[in-house]
C-alpha cells in the first residue's frame, strides 16, 4: 500500500479518499449504510470514536499521525477484504445504540429496532404494541448479537427477557453486548432451535428477526454479505421456512394478551396466501411497508383452535 498519510491530513481528506477508493472497487453496502459516502463516513467516524451522525463538525479537523495510519489501514482493509465496515470497527448501531459485532454474527440492521423506538418514544405511545410497563416477559428468537434483547430490556424495565439462538458463537457475542449494556439481571441466553429451549414458558411479547433470505437471493450475494454467517440469512427455498414454524408454534408460548412482532423481508404475498385466516398487521418503517408484521396471541390461538 502506498503511504498516503503524509498527503492526507484532515478528516475531509480521508473521507474523499475513501469514497474514491470504495467507488473504484465497486464495493457493496447495506449494513446500515447505502452509499460509498455514508459507508466511508461511518468507517472514519467510528474508527475515531466520533458520533457517527455528525460528520460536518469534524471535516476540517487535522488528524494525528496515529489516526491517519489507522484510517489508511482501515480504508485499505475495507477495499481489499470487502468485509462490512462494522466488522472492521467492531461496532454497529441501532437508532444510535452501539453494539459489539464480529464475524460470528450478522451485522444488526433490523427494522424492529426502529419500530420499538418510533412506537414507544412518541407522546401517544404505541398503537399496537403492549404498554411497556405491563410487559413482564419477552423472548427474542434468533437473537444473533443480542441487540434486540438488549433493547427489549431497556424498553420493558419490568420484564425478564429470554434470548434464543441456534449458534453458540452468536450467543458469545450476545453475552458481550448484554454485559456492556448492563442488563445481565434481565436477559437470559438459551442455545437451541426457535422455541426448543423454552418448553412451558409463556411470554407477553415475542420479538423475532429470523433468517428469511431465499436461496436465489443468497446465490447472488455480494462479497460483503458473504462475509456474514450464512445461517443467519438462510430461510429456505422461498425464505419463509422459519417464519412458518414461528407462526405454527407461537400460540403455545404467548400469554392471552400477548403478541409477536416478526421481520420477514419480502414474503408478504406468500404468507397472506398461505395463511388467509390470520390477521396480519403490517408495520410501516422508513424503508418498507411490509417487511415486519404484528400478530396477536388471540389471532394465533383462534387459528390453532380452528
In the structure, what pLDDT confidence band is assigned to residue 238 with cuts at 50, 70 and 90?
A: very high
pLDDT tens digits for range 115-155: 999 999 988 889 899 999 999 999 999 999 999 999 999 99
**What's the grid cell of residue 109?**
440492521
pLDDT tens digits for range 62-110: 999 999 999 999 999 999 999 999 999 999 999 999 999 999 999 999 8
| Sheet of strand 292-296, all strands in order from the earlier edge strand to the far edge | 187-191, 160-165, 137-141, 203-208, 254-263, 292-296, 281-282
Quote the longest CA-to-CA distance of the chain: 72
Whole-angstrom Cα distance, residue 61 to residue 59?
A: 6
Name which of 189, 159, 185 is nearest 174 in CA terms: 189
Q: Where are the beta strands (DSSP E) in the chain?
A: 91-94, 97-100, 137-141, 160-165, 187-191, 203-208, 254-263, 281-282, 292-296
pLDDT tens digits for range 180-209: 999 999 999 999 999 999 999 999 999 999
Give residue 287's pLDDT. 85
Average pLDDT over the chain reads 95
pLDDT tens digits for range 288-302: 889 999 999 999 988
Whole-angstrom Cα distance, residue 156 to residue 126?
A: 13
Name which of 132, 115, 84 is nearest 232 in CA terms: 84
Q: What is the CA radius of gyration of the chain?
A: 21
Q: Cα torsion at 65, 70, 74, 75 (round to 10°)?
A: -10
Residue 175 has pLDDT above 80, yes or no: yes
Name which of 57, 90, 75, 83 is nearest 14 in CA terms: 75
With residues binned 3-state (H G I as helix, E B as strand, rest as coil), the percentages for the chain, rounded to 5, are 40, 15, 40
Residue 237 has pLDDT above 60, yes or no: yes
Question: Residue 203 phi/psi, 5° resolution?
Answer: -130, 145
Give residue 122's pLDDT. 86
In whole angstroms, how far apart are CA 1 and each of 4, 73, 75? 9, 9, 11
Percent of the chain with pLDDT over 70: 98
Give residue 125's pLDDT. 87
pLDDT tens digits for range 14-47: 999 999 999 999 999 999 999 999 999 999 999 9
Whole-angstrom Cα distance, residue 77 to residue 198?
A: 41
In the structure, what pLDDT confidence band is assigned to residue 306 with cuts at 50, 70 and 90?
A: low
Give residue 3's pLDDT. 84
Residue 305 has pLDDT above 80, yes or no: no
Give residue 123's pLDDT. 84
Residue 260 has pLDDT above 90, yes or no: yes
Q: Is 244 exposed, middle or buried (0-12, 13-18, 19+ CB in 10 A)?
A: middle
In the structure, what pLDDT confidence band is assigned to residue 304 with cuts at 50, 70 and 90?
A: low
Give residue 289's pLDDT. 87
CB 289 within 8 A of CB 234: no
Amino acid at each position: 500500500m502506498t503511504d498516503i498519510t503524509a498527503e492526507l491530513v484532515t478528516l475531509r481528506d480521508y473521507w474523499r479518499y475513501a469514497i474514491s477508493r470504495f467507488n473504484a472497487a465497486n464495493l457493496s453496502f447495506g449494513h446500515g449504510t447505502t452509499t460509498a459516502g455514508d459507508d466511508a463516513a461511518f468507517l472514519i467516524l467510528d474508527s475515531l470514536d466520533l458520533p457517527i451522525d455528525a460528520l460536518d463538525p469534524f471535516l476540517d479537523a487535522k488528524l494525528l499521525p496515529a489516526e491517519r495510519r489507522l484510517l489508511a489501514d482501515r480504508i485499505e482493509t475495507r477495499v481489499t477484504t470487502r468485509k462490512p465496515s462494522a466488522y472492521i470497527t467492531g461496532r454497529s448501531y441501532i437508532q444510535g445504540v452501539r453494539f459489539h459485532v464480529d464475524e460470528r454474527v450478522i451485522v444488526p440492521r433490523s427494522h424492529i429496532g426502529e419500530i420499538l423506538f418510533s412506537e414507544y418514544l412518541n407522546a401517544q405511545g404505541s398503537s399496537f404494541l403492549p404498554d411497556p410497563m405491563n410487559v413482564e416477559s419477552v423472548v427474542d428468537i434468533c437473537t444473533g448479537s443480542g441487540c434486540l434483547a438488549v433493547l427489549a430490556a431497556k424498553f420493558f424495565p419490568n420484564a425478564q427477557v429470554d434470548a434464543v439462538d441456534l449458534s453458540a458463537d452468536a450467543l458469545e457475542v450476545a453475552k458481550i453486548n448484554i454485559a456492556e449494556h448492563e442488563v445481565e439481571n434481565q436477559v437470559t441466553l438459551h442455545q437451541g432451535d426457535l422455541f426448543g429451549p423454552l418448553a412451558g414458558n409463556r411470554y407477553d411479547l415475542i420479538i423475532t428477526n429470523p433468517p428469511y433470505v431465499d436461496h436465489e437471493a443468497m446465490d447472488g450475494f455480494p462479497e460483503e454479505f458473504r462475509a456474514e454467517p450464512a445461517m443467519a440469512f438462510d430461510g429456505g427455498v422461498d425464505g419463509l421456512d422459519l417464519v412458518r414454524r414461528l407462526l405454527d408454534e407461537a400460540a403455545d408460548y404467548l400469554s392471552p394478551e400477548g403478541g409477536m412482532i416478526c421481520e420477514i423481508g419480502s414474503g408478504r404475498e406468500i404468507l397472506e396466501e398461505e395463511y388467509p385466516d390470520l390477521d396480519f398487521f403490517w408495520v410501516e418503517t422508513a424503508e418498507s411497508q411490509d417487511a415486519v408484521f404484528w400478530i396477536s396471541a388471540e389471532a394465533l390461538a383462534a387459528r390453532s383452535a380452528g
